Structure formats: structure tokens, C-alpha cells
Structure 1
Amino acid sequence: MFRIKAHGVKHSEKSLSYAQTELLNSTMPIRVCGAPTGSGKTYAFFEAVKQGQLVFFVVPTQALARDIKNTAISVLGNENQVKIWDYEQTKFALEQGEKPWLLREEELKTLKRQGGMIVATLESLAKLILGKDPKFQYSHLDIKTLLWFCDHLVFDEAHTLNERAFGLIYLMMVLVTHLHRENLQGHFLKLSLLSATHSNLFSELLDSQDLPQESFIQFDEQVIEEGFDRALHGDVIVHYCKTPILETIHDYAPELIRQLSPETALLLVYDSMAQFARDESNLAHFFKTQGIRADEVILINGQDKQSSHSFGGTGFEAGLFPAAKHRVIIGTSAVEMGVNFKVNCAIIESGFDAAGLLQRIGRVARGEKEGVVYVCLSSVAKIGDTLRHVKKLEPLANSQESYTIEQVRQKMADKKGHLKVFDLKKAKYLGGAFWSVLSRGEGRYLMKDAVLPAFDSLIAHKTDGKEKLPAPCDFLNYLHQLGQKNDWNGRSYFEAWLAAVDKALCDVRGFTPTLKVSFNGKLFEYNADWVLSRLESADLVDEDGRHIYTGNRSDYLREKAEKINFSVLNPFGSSFTISETHFSNVLNPYLSKLEKLEAKYGKNPVFKSAILFIRLTGLVVRDEQMDSLEKSGGII
């Protein structure tokens, strides 16, 4: 075991910390801020609202959006100054016979006049920037509105984003930098990236000279262990257990449960929804032996939140936020992202990287409370394999020493000081692809004036010191131009692939298709790939395509994920079928299949360019017409 020392921050002007003051007052167009969980990064933007400014605040989950809205209302004292833009708002508006984007346009205009905050999911932001949904609803909202109406564009939990999402952010960084440099419209939108990890997560991008040094600032909260004005966390004891989570719960949860105070809960965090589903019945029996009723346990995950109770049939409650009665909170990685719980003890799987692990530990012991965390083996790691960041945890756990939070961060980081590996080149080329989509749409005039001068300054990457690659902003447009030059065998396939690439980019986080599934009469919608690979065949697939299971989820769970037949678009012919357990594994076999076509298409300049684009961006486009509900063993 080891101890993370209690820490907090000093206050400067207006009772703000160093990081809060910088976020509120810095004139830099791009600001990258790192601060531990609970440090109050969001609070700086509540102060901006009080000053009459308009803040567009982007979050990764609906739960976090609601948590921030509730906090904002309590701070600002006016619920009309905070609006949420997400799927639930869209759904409610449509049910009322209204057009969501017209409502949002009115909300934005009102908040611009009085000051306010729009809390939006990343998907809502992408639709605003790319402009398709607002245009179809006769709304004038578009990327220009965002750039010229808002005072702050903020990306919360930025370290949780993948390269596709950061590609969109990269485009916005280029635009914001150019607007400041040219003083266009006399307006100064500022873009902020907030991260619970160190601010150097994006240092390679900022150091790459793609953006002028005078356009951005990186800073981290000044955390101290003594003499602070506001406590962030009390002492936290961290244990590392080389056992699966269920075994760890049986070993240590009884004592943790006995020590729970009436206002706190035990937090359990799984890396795998499938592993939780396997363990659920065992957990229900275990909690019963500990005197905890089923309705005192709440599940927070993408599946069960769609119902009031678990689909596993245990009677566990489900939702986005725990109530005072809940003594146990069980979640997946979604609980890492900013939502605050009253938790002083936790048993957690190790997560997918050091950034996620430290953020999970940061869920515990907020304020001056002390806490304890048991970190156990991840259910997503291969048998006998130890994830890289866990190897760095072991020496700490064996040391029996006390460390500052900064010392822990340094010991968990890689050689470059990063807590998470990030593919900068992929993000930049995806950013260029987003620009390409915009440049062929209604935003092309703004884009021509704002993006091209900025992107023209980019330094083209080189491969093996020989081959000069197209600049990120040119690549997808270049493919469109090549495809239109001449009639050639397979051109129709190529044009269909290009159209599908544009459509795929609108799905900014790369979500997979969903299925409607029913357990014991409870209907929900979930990731189709998970259902097909993790569950046995449904008892019935009705005429609407709903998968009907007459029992509980646990009755149909497979012991091991089964391969699915993914149908992916081939730019030069009929779609490929690739069998894998997860779509993220499709890229390499997809590239191998494409490279085998070189004998037929190698002389066509489109061929190598298209393969290079796919390799640089990682974009593999599913064939929606052919992507059937098949497992590798046959049709369901």
C-alpha cells in the first residue's frame, strides 16, 4: 500500500485558485489546464457567466451535463442562465412537436444578451459545427454562431477524448487562433481544454509549431500539501491487489461496508460491462449477507441507466445519480468523468491508462475526508498480461511510503511525462478531414478565409524521410478531386466510399450501431456489437428488428466474446467481410485486404492515396446496407 497525501489550493483574488484565475482572466486564445479532480475548474466559468459572458461548455456524458447544470444553478441562483443541449433535450422537443435546433437558437440568443452557459454533449457540438441538423430544421445556428457569439468554448474531461473527437477540437483551435490573429469581427472567443491529468497531455500538439507559440498557454493547478485555503482531498490509502474484482470485493468490502457512515457509499468500478453482468448475481447474494438491500445498490452504466432497475434481474436500482439511500454505487468507466459522489472507499479495476486510474482514485475522499482505494486486476487485460500503467503502480504499492499527488503522477507517467498515449498525427489528419467536410458545405466562405491561411502554415509530415504527405487540410479534398478526374473502373465504389467517410465523420466519437433489446419485457437500446458478441441468440427477433429475451441479461451472457462478421466499405469494389470480436480490431485486417488489390489498382494514383488516408486517420467505414446481424458462425 501507499498513501497519497492530503492536498488543496491557496486562494488568490475573489477566492479563486491559481488555475481558476488563469481560466477566467488569461487573454490567450488557447488555454490548456490540468488540475486534480475536485479542484473546481468548472467554477471559473460560472464566474464568467456572472460577468455577463456566454460559455459553451462541452462534456463527454449526459450525466456530467446534468451534474454541471445543477451545480451552476446553485452557484448562479438562476436556472434560466443554464441550458443543456443533448439527446434527451432533442427527444423531449420532438415529442412536443417542436424543432430542437430552433429552440436552441432562441436559447443562445437569450443567453448572449444576459450571460449564461450552454452545457452540451460532444455530439451536439459536432452537429452544430458540421451544420446538417440545424439546417434541416431551418435554424441559422452554425460554426460562425459558435465563433462569434460565444466568449468561451470549453472542453471538459479533455483527456477522455479519442483522436477523432480531438480532430474536431484541433480544427476549432486552428480557427480560434486565426480569428485572434486577424482580429476578425473584433471578437475574441477563447478555447479551453480542461483535464484532470497534467496539462502536458497535449504538449506535442502545442510544441509542433502548427500553432504560433503566442496563441496558447499551458498551466497546472498549484496544489500544495500544507497551508491551503481549500481542501481538495484528504489522505488516501491505495492498495494494489493482484486479484479479480469479485474476489477483491469478497475479501475487503465487508470491512469497508461496516465503516460506512450514513451519508457515504462504497464505490465499485468495472472496466467491462460484460464482467459486471457475469458477477451481478454473485454480488446480489454477497450484499444480502452484508445487510444491504437490493434497492440500496445503484448501477451507473450505459445499459442499465435506461431503466429504473438492472436488466440482470437482481433488483439493483439504476440511473445517473445515487440517492441518499444508496450504500453501494457500481459503475463502469463513465463514473470517472467529473460527476461527484460522496464516497470515501472504493474497489476499482485498474482502467485503461494511468490518466483514468488516477481519476478513479480521485473520486474518493473529497474535501478533508480520508479514504481508501483497492485497485485490482482489470477484466479487459489478457490472462497473464499486466497493463503498462499497472506495472508502474506495483512499486508504489510495495513501497509503504507517502507521496504527494504530483509525485504519484510523475511515477505513473511514461518517459515523456504523459499519463495517456495520444496519436497526434491521427488527430491532425482527422481535423483536416473535418475541415474538408466543412469546405464543401455552406460554411465554405468562412472556411476559405479562416482555415486555409492557418492550415497553409502547417508543416507537412514526412514518411521514412522520403515521401512528403499532403497537408492535413488538403488530403480528403485531394481524394475527392482525384475521384472526379476521369471515368475509371470502380469509380462508383470510390465515390460511395467518400460519401460514407463524410457521414462517418459526423459521428464524432465513432459510436457503433445500436439494437433494441428486451429483457423480461424491459426494452432498451444498446451497442449492437456488444449484444451480438456477448449475448446468446435472442429467443425472438420481431418484425421491427427488436431482439426479445424472455429472461434476464445474465441468463444469456456468453462466457467469452464471439466474433462478428463486420461488413466494411471497400473504396475499389464490393464490401469486405471481416470477423473480429470488436470493431476496433478491424483496421489492420482491412488494410491487409486493401493492399492485396495493388496488382489490380496499383497504377491508379487514387489507390495509394486512399490507403494512406485510411492509415493516417484510422477511418474504417461500415457498410450500413450489408452490415447485417451476423456472427461469424452464421446468421442469428
Structure 2
Amino acid sequence: MKEALDFTIPRHAVPSDPASGLSPLQARMLDDPAKVRIFSAPTGAGKSYAFQKGMRERGDRILFIVPTRRLAQNLSEGLVSDLMREGMDRAAAESQVMVWTSDARMKQEEQNPGLKTRDLRIAQARAERGGARDGFMIIATPESVAWYLLNPALRKDGQDPENILDLLRLTHVVFDEFHTIDARGMGLSCALATITAQAIGAAKITFLSATPIDVKTTLTSFGIPEDVIAIAEEVVVTGDPEETAGMRAIHGDVEVRIETGDGFFDALNTHRALILSTMAREDDGAQVVLIYDSVRQLLHDKLQLAEWFEGIGVGPDQRLAVNSSDDSVSREMDGLFTIGRNTDPRGFKVLVATSSIEMGVTFKAGLIIMEPGHDACSLVQRIGRVARGDLPGTVVVQASQRAMDRHGWLRKLRMELDGEPPVIPIDRFNGLVLRAVRQGFDVTPASLDDERGSFRRMPQSAIWVAGLFWAALEKKTHYKGMRDTLRSFRPRHAARIGALLGDLERTNLDTARTWLRAFLDEAKRLRVILPKVTLVDPFGRRKQIPWLLYASTEDLLRSPARINPDGAIEVQVDRPLIEVEGALGGRFVQRTEEALFPHTGRRMTFELLGMKEAWLRAAGAEMNDPALSGAQESALHAASTLVRLTGIVPFAQEEGLMDGAALIF
């Protein structure tokens, strides 16, 4: 293997209709009559733009589901700005662009303490406007959608509670960045797609991804007729401006260098001249971006990074730090960098960030120096953020030996790229990098019916999670007519999950019913989100850090701590925050949780990583107890099957956040 690998991803563009400005795939996003559409296009191709255009010009009512809160915020701010440029005032623009995330909810409730988020979202989802320019877009995280559907409340004002019909009445329901989905998120989307495919005049469901993935097999196995599904890829043309005349450029030439190294400071010193020449550019590519894999390492390096950039004339007001810790404040200077979520990254010469920048942060970089990311999707997202439009750019990937040892996908990719020519078209590059992602979706119909639970592919558990989501919808629906409709359309995987839940109920054990309720609640908890810990220094400055960083730092564990009125951990530190951040970590720590068992109400503590396998082993041991009653044995058998199929273990804690994210203390 060579010490460094250099190649070019050449300039590429998509055909564009002179009248509408849409590419062929973008036009299909709006006009294809299929009820379920699976579309793919490379990063930067404008997958969300088509739906924004449909909202503005056709009056389409759109639910646009994105994987992160930051991406939701970024899309909403961009769309509001577009509407204002067209002559709309801010209030009118914001009435057409709505955000369903926990951040948006907290901001709304701070501005209006009497506001009931539930009422607001019901009104937003049911808004009826008649004009061609009176469409709207709700930009939401999957957790927000799950919470809306699975947490309805009977009302005293005569209105129907939240229900699936609110989404069926929309024009489009879109799942963006679907190649990054996990089993729980895919379960939600699969269930929603199946319901809409069966209903007359319902919203169209669209899955958008950066690479072609086989979603169809899972959808059809869950009950969607094959003839209602359309699949298409964007036409991408590699060539110079003359060869792509009349087309819209996605990226200019991107020079990529994959090199071994000894950390970011080695890369900064090696590429000092390139950094200076990038910042001296007179076009929109004059920004330099550093992307870390570890927030702990970034916080540790901030002082030295500040000194390095100060040495080349980049002051703290020209450099921005973007990560989960620094984004916990609104906007401020921490003495080293500008920080805070309410900043526009485009106004800075230098960004220093973690993976939070991959989606949902708008910037125009001419140079990215980066670690490879935690998976292949991260690598593609990061490289795709440079040289947007018709500008050239450079990416330097710091692939240390440690990263090579840790990531099998990276070792394999590096060997494959060694055999490629020095110019690799974007479709070929994405094909190589995301091959493992596509393979993760490759399943057979027979494998999706397998109940043994030794699943090797994500859709094998996702299809059973879809069954759980369907069963939870039936349980949570207040009206008999809607419950009957769901039962009449019930896919076989949902029927099997429902039968197992029924087995638990029929044991008549209170402990089994408790376990069942906790298991159903997991349908709206699409991700386990560990809590943030708030640090408060002697000067009153406050900042949040991830729980794992707190738990792995001896000094913080010894510092005075309390539970604040919001139920969060608050730690008083004895020195400035910037000094504390530079010394985080050091202890190895694994998060543990208490898990429920259905036969005795017993709770056992397991490490979060590998909890499914540990719980099943413990349940198997319990089954050998000769003192078990028949009801207890039945409860254990049903619960074990549910855990094996879905991969979900209900925790003893029942805390939940608005928007469906489980906050586990």
C-alpha cells in the first residue's frame, strides 16, 4: 500500500430543464404518479430542492423527514430565506416552513410559555390552503413523527386527536438521507409507506438516498404491492463546462489525497501553503474546514488549534468551532473560537468541526482536512461538502494506522482505490465507497420471514420493527374505525408481532403487562440518546458535554454535582471551561442500563452495547428455572421472541422526551 494516494473526482453536472430548472429526477419527484418512490442522487444534487419548489409553486403540502435536528434547522432557514428573497415577509415565510424537533419545541415554548406544542403541530399538519403559492413544508426528525402518531390524546375541544390521517392528507411524505437509516427508522418508514400505499388519494412516499439501495424487497415483503413502487437514479454527467453546456454543475474538480499521518497538526504543517492559498481565493471556495471523528479530541486540541491559526493570521472572530458541546450555547467567544448554534458558518475563514457538520451545516469549503469518519456514509458526506457548484476543491483524508486498524471498510476501500485510475468519476467513487452500505440492504424475501433472529442485514430486524410500529398504531388509535382499518390492512409481520403481544396479555401477569407497555413505548423511541451534562465554571459560564465524556473524566466525577429543575445533571467545576475541555476523558466507561423481564418484574443491569444478546442469554437461563409457572414460561417465551426479532430490549426507566427520543439517566 502506498504512503499516500492521490486521485481526482472530476467535475460533474446534471441535466436541467430551461423552463423549470429541474433535473429529470427532480421532475419525477414531483410528477411521478407512483405511490412509493425510491430515488437516488449524489450528495449536492439538490434532492430537497424539488420539494421546496413544489411547495412554493404548486401549493404542495410536504412532510420532509431528515435524520438530524441540525439538518432540519438548516433546511428551514434556507427555505425561509428563499421565500423572503421572493418578496415574502419573514412572518409569512415562517408560517409556510415549520420545524418539528425538540430544539424547535423548546424555542417555541421559551418565546410563548403558554404554547401547547401538541396543538400547534395538529394545526400545522391539518392546515388547508387553497392558493398555488400556499403550500407548506414540515421539516421533522423521525422521532417527532413517531411521537405525533403514537402519543395521541383525547381532546375536549371537539377536534380529533393526532392520527395517521393527518399524514395521509398531505401531498408528499419524504424520507431524506435514507442510506443512513437504522432498523428503527426503517421500521417507521416501512409501516407508513405500507399504510399510504393501501389508501386511496393518500400522500406519495419518497425515499431519497445518495446511492441506489434495495428498499423495494423489504417494502414488498411487508405488504406493499410491487406495481405501486417506482425506482430511479439521477442522471449525472462528468465533463467540463463545454461538455455539460446547459446543465447544472454539482461539483467542480475535487482533488482527493488519502494519507497516513500523526494527527491534525501534522496535516496542518504539511499543508500550510495549501491552507493559505485556499483562504486567499477570491471566489466562494476560500474556506478551510477541519473535521474530527472525536469531539473529545477536538476539545482537547482547541488551544493548540487556536495558536496555530493565530500564527497564520486567522483570529478567533474568523474561526468557528462546530460540535455538540460548543453548539450547546447560543453564540459567544470562548477565548479560542467563536462558538454557538446561532452562527452562520459561511461567515468564517476556518471551521473546526465533528461529524455534526456532515449534514445540516451550510458552508462553502475549498479545502477540507478530515479524518475518515465512523463509516462509509460519513466519508461520502464529508467529501461531498467541498467544491459545491462549479468550483474546484481539495480534500485531505488523514487515515491514521489506528483508523485503518479499527475500520475494516476503510482498509478495503483503500486497497480498492489503489487499483483505480487517477481520475475516478463520481458514480464510480460512490459505488466503491458505499458498496457496503448497499450490501447492508440486500436481502431476500425468505430472509425477511426468518424468525431465528440471527440477522446479518439491517432490514431483517427492521421489518419486524415495522410490525411493532404497526401494532403500536393499532393500540394507540382512539377510534374504532381507524383501528379496524389498520387491522384489515395488517401485514403478516405486524400480525405476528400482534400475536406475540397477545400472548403476553393472556398470561394475566402484571409484570408481563408492564413489560408489554414498555416494549410498545419503544416504537416511538427511535434512538437511545444519552443525556448531556452541564458544566458550570467559576465565572458562571455554562456548556453541555456528552454523558460519556463526563463519565470518563475522573476530575468531573469528583466535582460537586446536582440534578437541576429540568432533571439534568449539573456539575460545578473549579476552573475555566476551556481548561476543563482540554482534559476530558481518560477512563474507559461503558453505559449500562436496567432491563425489564416479563415473568417476575426482575430487573437486570447490562451494558448498552450488546444488550440484546445479554438479555436473551439471561432469559434463556431463566427459562431453565423448574419453579416457573406456565404463565411465566409463556411470558418469557413471547418476550424472548419479540426481542430476538426486533433487537429491542425495553428499559426499566420510562422517561421520555417530547419528540420521542429516549433520555436515559
For the aligned pair, the TM-score class normalised by the smaller chain equals: 0.7 to 0.9
Question: How many Å separate the matches in 1 of 2:368 and 2:437?
Answer: 30
* 1:528-577 residue CA offsets vs partner (Å, 9 max, x unmatched): 34432456415111353422223323254123432344322233342112
Q: Measured at CA, do residues 486 and 424 of structure 1 come closer, stay the same or move farther in structure 2, by a change above 3 Å?
A: closer
Question: How many Å separate the matches in 1 of 2:80 and 2:654?
Answer: 45
Question: How many Å separate the matches in 2 of 1:100 and 1:139?
Answer: 15
1:408 equivalenced with 2:413 (yes/no): no
Residue of structure 2 in register with 1:461 after alignment: none
Task: State how many pairs are aligned.
Answer: 600
Letter in 2 for 1:407: R
8 Å CA contact 2:68, 2:360 repeated in 1: no
Residue of structure 1 in register with 2:617 after alignment: 592
* 1:219-257 residue CA offsets vs partner (Å, 9 max, x unmatched): 111000133311000111111122354245334442232
Residue of structure 2 in register with 1:193 after alignment: 207
Aligned equivalent of 2:24, options 3, 11, 18: 18
Residue of structure 1 in register with 2:636 after alignment: 607
> What SS does structure 2 have at the residue aligned with 1:237?
strand
Query: Greater shift after overlay, 407-416 or 608-617?
Result: 407-416
8 Å CA contact 2:474, 2:487 repeated in 1: no
Aligned equivalent of 2:571, options 544, 547, 556: 547
> What SS does structure 1 have at the residue aligned with 2:34?
coil
8 Å CA contact 1:159, 1:201 repeated in 2: no
Aligned equivalent of 2:357, options 332, 335, 339: 335
Query: Greater shift after overlay, 214-223 or 120-129?
Result: 120-129
Question: How many Å separate the matches in 1 of 2:218 and 2:158?
Answer: 37
Question: How many Å separate the matches in 2 of 1:86 and 1:525?
Answer: 19
Question: How many Å separate the matches in 1 of 2:164 and 2:248?
Answer: 40
8 Å CA contact 1:81, 1:111 repeated in 2: no
Residue of structure 2 in register with 1:472 after alignment: 493
> What SS does structure 2 have at the residue aligned with 1:55?
strand
Q: Measured at CA, do residues 221 and 201 of structure 1 come closer, stay the same or move farther in structure 2, by a change above 3 Å?
A: same
Letter in 2 for 1:234: G
Aligned equivalent of 1:350, options 369, 372, 377: 372
> What SS does structure 1 have at the residue aligned with 2:115?
coil
8 Å CA contact 1:304, 1:311 repeated in 2: no
Question: How many Å separate the matches in 1 of 2:530 and 2:481?
Answer: 32
Question: How many Å separate the matches in 1 of 2:481 and 2:352?
Answer: 47
How far off its partner does 1:444 sit? Answer: 5.9
Q: Measured at CA, do residues 554 and 237 of structure 1 come closer, stay the same or move farther in structure 2, by a change above 3 Å?
A: same
Residue of structure 2 in register with 1:466 after alignment: none
> What SS does structure 2 have at the residue aligned with 1:276?
helix
Q: Measured at CA, do residues 555 and 41 of structure 1 come closer, stay the same or move farther in structure 2, by a change above 3 Å?
A: closer
Aligned equivalent of 1:123, options 139, 143, 168: 143
Q: Measured at CA, do residues 98 and 138 of structure 1 come closer, stay the same or move farther in structure 2, by a change above 3 Å?
A: farther
> What SS does structure 1 have at the residue aligned with 2:493?
coil
Q: Measured at CA, do residues 102 and 625 of structure 1 come closer, stay the same or move farther in structure 2, by a change above 3 Å?
A: closer
> What SS does structure 2 have at the residue aligned with 1:8?
strand
Letter in 1 for 2:74: D
Question: How many Å separate the matches in 1 of 2:193 and 2:357?
Answer: 28
Question: How many Å separate the matches in 1 of 2:147 and 2:11?
Answer: 42
Residue of structure 2 in register with 1:168 after alignment: 188
1:82 equivalenced with 2:103 (yes/no): no
1:37 equivalenced with 2:43 (yes/no): yes
8 Å CA contact 1:233, 1:365 repeated in 2: yes
8 Å CA contact 2:163, 2:477 repeated in 1: no
Question: How many Å separate the matches in 1 of 2:654 and 2:118?
Answer: 29
> What SS does structure 2 have at the residue aligned with 1:403?
coil
For residues 317-328 of structure 1, the aligned pairs below 5 Å read: 317-319=339-341, 321-328=343-350
Residue of structure 2 in register with 1:522 after alignment: 541
8 Å CA contact 1:479, 1:609 repeated in 2: yes
How far off its partner does 1:398 sit? Answer: 6.7
Aligned equivalent of 2:586, options 555, 559, 568: 559
> What SS does structure 1 have at the residue aligned with 2:406?
coil
> What SS does structure 2 have at the residue aligned with 1:268?
strand
Q: Measured at CA, do residues 209 and 484 of structure 1 come closer, stay the same or move farther in structure 2, by a change above 3 Å?
A: closer
Residue of structure 1 in register with 2:605 after alignment: 577
Query: Greater shift after overlay, 356-365 or 114-123?
Result: 114-123
Letter in 1 for 2:13: G
1:396 equivalenced with 2:417 (yes/no): yes
> What SS does structure 2 have at the residue aligned with 1:2?
strand
Question: How many Å separate the matches in 2 of 1:609 and 1:222?
Answer: 48
Q: Measured at CA, do residues 555 and 404 of structure 1 come closer, stay the same or move farther in structure 2, by a change above 3 Å?
A: closer
Question: How many Å separate the matches in 2 of 1:219 and 1:517?
Answer: 49
Residue of structure 2 in register with 1:147 after alignment: 167
> What SS does structure 1 have at the residue aligned with 2:528?
coil
Residue of structure 2 in register with 1:288 after alignment: 310
Letter in 2 for 1:402: V
Q: Measured at CA, do residues 137 and 558 of structure 1 come closer, stay the same or move farther in structure 2, by a change above 3 Å?
A: farther
How far off its partner does 1:52 sit? Answer: 1.6
1:275 equivalenced with 2:282 (yes/no): no
> What SS does structure 2 have at the residue aligned with 1:584?
coil
Letter in 1 for 2:75: I
What runs of 5+ residues in structure 1 fail to find an aligned partner?
457-470, 628-635
Residue of structure 1 in register with 2:453 after alignment: none
Question: How many Å separate the matches in 1 of 2:400 and 2:597?
Answer: 36
Aligned equivalent of 2:550, options 531, 535, 544: 531
> What SS does structure 2 have at the residue aligned with 1:367?
coil
Question: How many Å separate the matches in 2 of 1:507 and 1:4?
Answer: 39
Letter in 2 for 1:43: Y
* 1:316-351 residue CA offsets vs partner (Å, 9 max, x unmatched): 423265345411112222222253311111012212
Question: How many Å separate the matches in 2 of 1:534 and 1:203?
Answer: 46
Question: How many Å separate the matches in 1 of 2:651 and 2:156?
Answer: 25
Letter in 2 for 1:52: G
How far off its partner does 1:152 sit? Answer: 0.6
8 Å CA contact 2:72, 2:360 repeated in 1: no
How far off its partner does 1:72 sit? Answer: 2.1
1:622 equivalenced with 2:651 (yes/no): yes
Question: How many Å separate the matches in 2 of 1:167 and 1:287?
Answer: 46
Q: Measured at CA, do residues 204 and 109 of structure 1 come closer, stay the same or move farther in structure 2, by a change above 3 Å?
A: closer
How far off its partner does 1:41 sit? Answer: 1.3
8 Å CA contact 2:153, 2:162 repeated in 1: no
Q: Measured at CA, do residues 356 and 558 of structure 1 come closer, stay the same or move farther in structure 2, by a change above 3 Å?
A: closer
8 Å CA contact 1:166, 1:431 repeated in 2: yes
1:8 equivalenced with 2:13 (yes/no): yes
Q: Measured at CA, do residues 450 and 7 of structure 1 come closer, stay the same or move farther in structure 2, by a change above 3 Å?
A: farther
- Normalising by structure 1, we get a TM-score of 0.86
How far off its partner does 1:437 sit? Answer: 1.3
- Normalising by structure 2, we get a TM-score of 0.82
Question: How many Å separate the matches in 1 of 2:158 and 2:147?
Answer: 14
How much is the aligned-residue C-alpha RMSD, in angstroms?
3.1
How far off its partner does 1:4 sit? Answer: 0.6
* 1:574-598 residue CA offsets vs partner (Å, 9 max, x unmatched): 21122x4xx2343332322222212
How far off its partner does 1:144 sit? Answer: 3.2
How far off its partner does 1:19 sit? Answer: 1.0
1:385 equivalenced with 2:413 (yes/no): no
8 Å CA contact 2:62, 2:174 repeated in 1: yes
What runs of 5+ residues in structure 2 fail to find an aligned partner?
1-5, 443-456, 657-664
Question: How many Å separate the matches in 2 of 1:244 and 1:309?
Answer: 32
Q: Measured at CA, do residues 159 and 143 of structure 1 come closer, stay the same or move farther in structure 2, by a change above 3 Å?
A: farther
> What SS does structure 2 have at the residue aligned with 1:150?
coil
